[in-house]
Amino acid sequence: MSIVKDIQSGRKPLKRAYVGIFLWFTGRAIQATARVDQEVKKEFDNLPDDFTFSLGCLPDGPCMVIGKEKGKVKYLGSNPGKRHVHVRLAIKSVDAAFLILSFQEGTAVATTRNRLITDGEVPYALAVIRILDIVEVYLLPKIIASLAVKRYPKGWSIGRKLGGRIGVYTRTLLGI
């Protein structure tokens, strides 16, 4: 018998479940927002036709993959398959992912604290971050979204605020 005992880190099932559900919902919301919001649509239009990005947590935590297919933005589940992933956003651990996705820490602050690693072309990564910021503004109440983004947008029309939010939530729930 070995005198060295392997110690496995805890799986943290509740945090993993929260992160997994959040990423699943956000993935569908990105697909929905790309159809509802002109600014997000324009950001995606400026990206390559086969553009793919992932947001997940290391080492083997939950992940979401978004890709463009025939001009349309699609939530592709948790596995990119054989697609080339242009931008990978990787959160260092489930704990760090929980901090970010429960809005205790904004995206920019997480980056400065080396919890969020970005791999890929910088202009693409910046476009993804701008898209994620807008999606968060649609999904979250102002008081929470203000914690997640550097600056909560001012000057959105009522139509964009209300109509857009209804559109994003409806499409997200229906997966269309």
Residue 9 or 114 having the CB closest to other proteins: 114
Smallest gap from Cβ 85 to other proteins, in A, equals: 13
**Closer to other proteins by Cβ: residue 126 or 162:** 126
Query: Which residues lie closer than 8 Å to 158 by C-beta, 6 or more apart?
Result: none
Count Cβ atoms below 10 Å from residue 99 Cβ, excluding itself: 18
> How many other CB atoms sit within 10 Å of the CB of residue 135?
23
> Measured from the CB atom, is 11 or 113 closer to other proteins?
113
User: What minimum distance in Å lies between the beta carbon of 103 and other proteins?
Assistant: 15
CB 36 within 8 A of CB 168: yes
Min dist. Cβ of residue 170 to other proteins (A)? 28
In angstroms, what is the minimal distance from the CB of 124 to other proteins?
9
**Of 74 and 161, which has the nearer Cβ to other proteins?**
161
For residue 113, count other CB atoms closer than 10 A to its CB. Answer: 13
From the CB of 173, what's the least distance to other proteins, in Å?
A: 30
**Which residues contribute to the site for other proteins (CB under 8 A)?**
108-109, 111-115, 117, 119, 122-123, 125-126, 129, 149-152, 154
Strands 72-75 and 116-120 come out as: unpaired
- Burial class of residue 97 (count of CB atoms within 10 Å of its CB; 0-12, 13-18, 19+): buried
Closer of 82 and 151 to other proteins (Cβ): 151
- At a CB cut-off of 8 Å and minimum separation 6, what does 83 contact? 50, 52, 65, 67, 76
